[in-house]
């Protein structure tokens, strides 16, 4: 995939700063509006919340104090970091707490209501981080500098700005999905009995990095088909070789333009057993029927209830599995163990990008199958970016 660094892009791809100034202004405006509606005078993105910091600044490491009254924010950057979005940040080396406090004081927030992004897990971002992501020691120091200010959680203030993607962001989501699919192609091409599983993992990861993907680990399970608890890997499976009838379930993640996507298609080194075929067929049904509901106005409650009840009518089980795309721990997050109850009544919107990969199981849950990838929500419905024939890849 050819790639040319846009004007202002960083010298290394892992510090992406190629979005336009118009995109910066759109993000800042959306966060300000959300903050004003929530009654905040200022939004603080503190040390520790790298995902939201990068979303708002495109810097690798930053903190930000954004007043809601339209004034320019104060941004604190690591050492000599600058870019087109933030040409003159406050620069720091190891000290972060002091400049964060001074930034709020300089903005006149000594008696303000300050919203802290990342203080707790959010509805559509930081979904797995129940206790938040901020550096609490640094934040406590900031609070001590402003004893008359109040500090409350504002994770959703930034989160819901990130929830709906712009045209620029969706362009990179498309590229990210292409890169992830190329990683899957490498698995399918190289996975054979006798192959070193660690080398296979590394070859697929190398292919992703060749396509200018940022580093993000792959997730695999590798075991004989039908194994009750297959071993899960997030690092190369050192010392393991693939065996006949090994089932590889993969979650291949790719990031382009700071947009994380994921594709998933199981690979079997053998013939698909007959008892698996009804489960795979059930998955195709629920995948297509559920996807038809992914359109503006449908609530996650309606989609989840539909998917979770679909399999029972056929004597099997189906489970909603869905997560957000973007940079960081994006949601809403629905898995067999996480239901995102607080956003069940949230409607799907145009511009959402979701990883859609429901789970189908036999009645006793011994056979489980999942397949899917990113979808974009348009004006009237969904568009899949994972253009693969549904099913398990069987390699004899």
Hey, what long-range contacts does 2-7 have (CB within 8 A, 24 or more apart)? Answer: 3/211, 3/212, 7/84
Transcribe 253-318 into DSSP letters. EEEETTEEEEEB--EESSPPPGGGHHHHHHHHHHHHHHHTT-STT-BHHHHHHHHHHHGGGGTSEE
Query: Which DSSP symbol is given to 324?
Result: E
Q: How high is the pLDDT of residue 16?
A: 55
Looking at the structure, give the CATH architecture of the domain made up of residues 167-394: Alpha-Beta Complex (3.90)
pLDDT tens-digit readout, 80-117 = 888 999 999 999 988 999 999 999 999 999 999 999 99
Q: Are the C-beta atoms of residues 125 and 159 closer than 8 Å to each other?
A: yes
What is this structure's pTM? 0.90
pLDDT tens-digit readout, 9-44 = 333 334 555 799 999 999 999 999 999 999 999 999
Of 135, 113, 134, whose CA–CA distance to 40 is shortest?
113
Q: Which helix (H) or strand (E) holds 76?
A: strand 74-78
Q: How high is the pLDDT of residue 7?
A: 41
Q: How high is the pLDDT of residue 340?
A: 67
Rounded Cα distance between 274 and 90, Å, is 64
Q: How high is the pLDDT of residue 17?
A: 55
Query: Alpha-carbon torsion 284, 127, 211, 247, what sign?
Result: negative
Report the CATH superfamily, name and number, of domain 21-163: Creatinase/prolidase N-terminal domain (3.40.350.10)
Rounded Cα distance between 358 and 179, Å, is 22
Q: Which helix (H) or strand (E) holds 145?
A: helix 136-145
Rounded Cα distance between 289 and 180, Å, is 24
Listed by start position, the domains of the chain span: 21-163, 167-394
Using 70 as the pLDDT threshold, list the residues of the chain that sit under it.
Answer: 1-17, 338-340
* Structure tokens belonging to residue 212: 């200018």
At a CB cut-off of 8 Å and minimum separation 6, what does 32 contact? 43, 66, 68, 70
Rounded Cα distance between 5 and 353, Å, is 24
Task: Name the β-bridge partners of 346.
Answer: none
């Amino acid at each position: 995939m050819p790639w040319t660094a846009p004007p202002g892009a960083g010298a290394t791809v892992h510090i992406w700063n190629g979005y336009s100034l118009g995109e910066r202004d759109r993000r800042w405006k959306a966060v300000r509006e959300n903050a004003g509606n929530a009654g905040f005078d200022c939004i603080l993105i503190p040390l520790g919340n790298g995902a939201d910091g990068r979303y708002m600044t495109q810097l690798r490491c930053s903190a930000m104090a954004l007043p809601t009254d339209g004034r320019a924010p104060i941004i604190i950057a690591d050492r000599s970091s600058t870019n087109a979005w933030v040409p003159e940040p406050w620069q720091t080396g190891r000290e972060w707490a002091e400049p964060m406090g001074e930034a709020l004081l300089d903005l006149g927030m000594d008696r303000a209501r300050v919203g802290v992004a990342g203080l707790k897990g959010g509805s559509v971002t930081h979904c797995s981080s129940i206790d938040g992501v901020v550096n609490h020691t640094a934040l406590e120091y900031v609070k001590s500098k402003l004893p008359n200010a109040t500090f409350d959680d504002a994770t959703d203030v930034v989160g819901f700005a990130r929830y709906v993607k712009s045209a620029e962001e969706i362009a990179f989501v498309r590229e990210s999905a292409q890169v992830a699919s190329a990683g899957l192609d490498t698995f399918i091409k190289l996975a054979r009995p006798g192959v070193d599983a660690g080398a296979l993992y590394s070859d697929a990861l190398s292919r992703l990095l060749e396509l200018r993907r940022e580093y993000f680990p792959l997730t695999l399970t590798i075991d004989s088909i039908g194994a009750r608890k297959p071993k899960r890997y997030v690092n190369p499976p050192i010392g393991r070789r693939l065996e006949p009838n090994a089932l590889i379930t993969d979650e291949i993640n790719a990031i382009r333009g700071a947009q994380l996507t994921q594709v998933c298609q199981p690979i079997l080194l053998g013939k698909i057993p007959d008892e698996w075929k009804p489960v795979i067929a059930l998955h195709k049904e629920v995948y297509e029927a559920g996807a038809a509901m992914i359109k503006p106005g449908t609530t996650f409650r309606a989609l989840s209830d539909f998917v979770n009840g679909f399999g029972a009518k056929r004597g099997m089980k189906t489970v909603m599995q869905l997560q957000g795309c973007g940079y960081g721990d994006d949601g809403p997050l629905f898995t067999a163990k996480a239901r995102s109850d607080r956003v069940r009544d949230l409607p799907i919107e145009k511009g959402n990008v979701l990883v859609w990969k429901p789970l189908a199981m036999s009645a006793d849950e011994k056979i489980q199958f999942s397949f899917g990838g990113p979808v974009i929500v348009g004006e009237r419905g969904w568009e899949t970016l994972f253009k693969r024939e549904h099913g398990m890849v069987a390699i004899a």
